[in-house]
Amino acid sequence: MLLGAILIAGILWLASGGSLQKKYDLYLAVLEESVAGLNINAPVKYNGVDVGKVKSIELDPNNPELVRLIFAIERGTPIKVDTVAVLKTQGLTGIAYVELDGGAKNAAPLIASADEKYPIIQTKPSLGTRLENVLTSVLAKLDNTSSNIDSLLSIENRESFKNALANIAAVSKTIAARNAEIDAGIVNASRAVNNTALATQKLNPMIDKLEPVIDQLSVTIAQINHSAIAIEKAGNEVAIASTTASKTVESVGANIDQYTAETLPEVQRLLTELNELSASLRRLSEQTERDPASLLRGRSPVPDGPGESSFEKVSP
């Protein structure tokens, strides 16, 4: 009875958290994939060593695409800031577990932030998820390739390809029929190439003789360029002088307009007087030609007309 009592007391002591019981720390991991096959109390391994178990599995209330896992990991396990949790399956049984990986020697220990109750372990997609993504991408590309092949092998393209093959066959037949002419053309081309090579060899001495002439032409061209520059400068100077002359002409024109406005009336009056004087001199000349003595005795009186008398007095 005493031994039984001691055994029961020991079991109760161990069950209530005796010194021989392991202590665990809680960590949080958030997965963006399905956790099918993962159960509560599933093992958590660190590089293949059992260090804890899955304590809780639940959906994120704010985003149902995320799954929140709470791990109970033995205290003292080196969980670092670069430790990564990955969902794996064990053998062919399909039993899922969590594998912890990473954790550099000099990395800092993982602790909880001020906004979270538990430290958050980083996660990465499982092998199945990565394969599924790759297969999905490959299938999408295969589907796109299949669609492109279907478009390429459409009835119109097949007809065009058939016509192209027929045209190629016709061209091949034509080439085969004129094989001799083509051979002759190739021979003639070879001869032309040889003749060109011989002509080039003969032209080399002439080219050597022309090099001094080319050099002299280069010098002449340089002199012409220099002369052109000088002419351009002279042209610029002439343009400047022309501008100055134009301004001078404009000034002189203004002075001439003013002079014309002031002097032209006097000149016109003088010309009128000169015309009158000229008319008087012409009359005097005509009278002198008719009667030269009139210069001495003056102009003779006009004779009386019929019924007039020079002695007749006009009554008042």
At 79-119, the pLDDT tens digits run: 889 999 998 887 666 678 899 988 788 888 888 888 888 89
Q: Label residue 19 by pLDDT band (50, 70, 90).
A: very low
The pLDDT, as a whole number, for residue 27 is: 92
Nearest alpha carbon to residue 47 among 108, 90, 102: 102
Average pLDDT, the chain: 78
Query: Rounded CA gap, 84 and 45, in Å?
Result: 11
Residues linked to residue 96 through DSSP beta bridges, in sequence order: 89
Which tokens hold the place of 236? 């610029």
The pLDDT, as a whole number, for residue 236 is: 76
Q: Label residue 70 by pLDDT band (50, 70, 90).
A: very high
In this predicted structure, the answer to whether residue 312 has a pLDDT above a threshold of 50 is no
Query: Rounded CA gap, 27 and 52, in Å?
Result: 10
Of 56-70, 216-230, 243-257, where does the model show the most confidence? 56-70
Strands annotated E in the chain: 24-31, 43-46, 49-60, 63-74, 83-90, 95-102, 120-123
> What is the mean predicted confidence (pLDDT) over 202-206?
73
CA 260 to mean position of chain CA atoms: 67
The pLDDT, as a whole number, for residue 37 is: 83
Least confident of 113-127, 131-145, 292-306: 292-306
Q: How far apart are the first and last CA of the chain?
A: 204
Which tokens hold the place of 165? 């093959």
Per the CB < 8 A criterion, the answer to whether 294 and 287 are in contact is yes
In this predicted structure, the answer to whether residue 64 has a pLDDT above a threshold of 50 is yes
> What is the mean predicted confidence (pLDDT) over 282-288?
68
The pLDDT, as a whole number, for residue 233 is: 80
Domain boundaries, the chain: 21-124
In this predicted structure, the answer to whether residue 39 has a pLDDT above a threshold of 80 is yes
The pLDDT, as a whole number, for residue 315 is: 44
Q: Which residues contact 36 (CB under 8 A, 6 or more apart)?
A: 96
> What is the mean predicted confidence (pLDDT) over 157-185?
83
